[in-house]
Structure 1
């Protein structure tokens, strides 16, 4: 499995030098990708009693701008969104921004996408929360068409593009699209359309059943299920990587291709985040050698 690190949004702060230090250290430690989360707006809680989830007090660096910066200060690590909430955005603009990041990073972008859970963001961004899944599916088709061809004509339920295109386009003619989520509709979408899946469930019967659904959808669409990557998250708010090796072992047995280490959630300093990542990388290397 390829090993990555999750950008500690809520704890990294706003100092560009600290962001550079974190990203270059992650690269130097041998991590193969950096994953960043996405939220445009956080909900205020004053008039939302019982609100659960991220709020306006939680910091999230804007992911495309962040990746433009990281493309300049790193050279080898893949840049991964985990996940970009595409249905609350204009699709052509996402295609343009993603192509630019891919260009500036010399082909290092992997776009993890999802439909999200925060209706407050959708409302504030002028998009319909209730149709987000179906809209995301049409967006996948539009994104891939805009990346592949100089001009396209597309007529769908949400998109009308009359003989137009983006320039520049990604050198590869595409950008990998990995899907996050666990609903039945999402799992079918992963199998039919996704380059990979970003599950947030532990290995076990539930994960096995979800993978069975993904593989069935892939086979029904004429795809090889083994071509679909799987990336799991290894949370280390406390404890060590040693304690998470059974989790990694079981997911690897299920076909996981990537694992990403999450260190935020315990109020760590920059130095403490990097110390945890250094220990995790050493432990993972020993695990990979066994």
Structure 2
């Protein structure tokens, strides 16, 4: 059982981000990541949007670049995994991802997890001259190409959308198999994850919808079900925080991405300490299943 954090500051969605995050500086972000690392959290996250059109500002406009952010945080941590949540496959050639995140994997001594998705913002696709129509099939091909490219210096792949060989990719990932987690809330995303990836990161689904989807797909052994929490308050309302987490465990979570309520970076770290203490017995509970 793994617990990660939905990293504050680097993504600020209206209604979810706390006011202090908009004024936070890099030193505070660094302290938060180092605290999560020290307390034993398993991963931290960073999402991707390149340029949010003004017509879509409701989903938030602050998205730190995941490669730059995770590389910086890698230098200030020692063991916590660095997870994209998510990287939009249609915005990048698979070799570009393999080179950039393979380098990050080497720099971080094998701590990269690639959360990937097909993308949901058509205006951004148009802005970046990326292909919107058929993006699901293109994402499938990209994942196959990534699997063939991430952990080798001489990748070769021949697919419907991506075709390459006779190339050298140095450096490349030190992990033999970088975990690929697929984001999404549809049956198609779950099938994509089960067939081509190592985990599924659904969002915005209730327990019943989640169970219905999981019941329609054969889940591979060792497959990760990565569920996220609403903001938790483990200091002032530990019972409610425990209840929310237990509910996700009962829904089948093998990894939980935690958000916490806080009024400052210092308070955020205090909440993380309380959350680490609260989740210690829950880890054992899940392992005993």
The TM-score by the shorter chain falls in which range? 0.7 to 0.9
Partner of 1:222: none
Distance 1:247 1:75, change over 3 A: same
Counterpart Cα distance in 1 of 2:93 and 2:199? 23
Going from structure 1 to structure 2, the CA distance change for 1:152 and 1:281 (only over 3 Å counts) comes to closer
Pick one of 273, 277, 284 that aligns with 1:282.
Answer: 277
Q: Is the 8 A contact 1:40 1:62 kept in 2?
A: yes
Does residue 177 (structure 1) correspond to residue 184 (structure 2)? The answer is: no
4+ aligned runs moved over 6 Å, structure 1:
none
Q: Which residue of 2 aligns with 1:40?
A: 50
For the pair 1:85 / 2:95, whether they are aligned, the reply is no
The alpha-carbon deviation at position 135 of structure 1 amounts to 0.8
**TM-score, normalising length: structure 2:** 0.85
CA root-mean-square deviation: 2.3
1:131 equivalenced with 2:134 (yes/no): yes
Distance 2:85 2:97 in 1: 15
Equivalent in the alignment of 2:59: 54
SS of 1:68's equivalent? Answer: helix
- 1:249 and 2:251 are equivalent in the alignment: no
Report how many residues are paired. 273
TM-score by length of 1: 0.85
Whole-angstrom distance in 2 between the partners of 1:208 and 1:93: 36
- Match of 1:147, SS? coil
Give secondary structure in 1 for the equivalent of 2:63. Answer: coil
- 1:28 Cα deviation from its structure 2 partner: 1.9
Pick the aligned partner of 2:97 from 94, 99, 102.
94
Contact 1:79/1:109, CA 8 A, preserved across alignment: yes
8 A Cα contact 1:5 1:260, kept in partner: yes
Moved more, 112-121 or 135-144: 112-121
Residues 57-107 of structure 1: CA deviation (Å, up to 9, x unaligned) = x32111011111111110010111111111122221111111011101101
1:8-62 alpha-carbon deviations (Å, 9 max, x no partner): 1232656322221111111122212111222111221xxx3xx46424xx32111
Trace 1:3-42 onto structure 2 (pairs within 5 A).
3-8=3-8, 9=10, 10=12, 11=21, 13=23, 15-42=25-52
Q: CA deviation at 1:184?
A: 2.3
Consecutive unaligned residues in structure 2, runs of 5 or more: 13-20
Q: Which residue of 2 aligns with 1:190?
A: 193
Q: 1:244 to 1:214 in 2, by over 3 A?
A: farther
Three-state SS of the structure 2 residue aligned to 1:41 is coil
Contact 2:207 2:251 in 1 (8 A): no
Q: Provide the residue aligned with 1:140 in structure 2.
A: 143
User: Which of 206, 220, 224 is matched with 1:229 structurally?
Assistant: 224
Q: Check conservation: 1:99, 1:147, Cα contact below 8 A.
A: yes
Q: Cα distance 1:183–1:176, how it changes in 2: closer, same or farther (>3 A)?
A: same
For the structure 1 residues 103 and 14, does the alpha-carbon distance in structure 2 shift closer, same or farther, using more than 3 Å as the test? farther
CA contact (8 A) 1:83 1:113 kept: yes
What are the within-5 Å matches in structure 2 for residues 208-219 of structure 1? 208-215=211-218, 218=219
Q: Tell me the residue number matched to 2:158.
A: 155
1:80 and 1:111 in contact (8 A); partners too: yes
SS state of the match for residue 62, structure 2? coil
1:221 aligned residue = none
The corresponding residue for 1:271 is 266
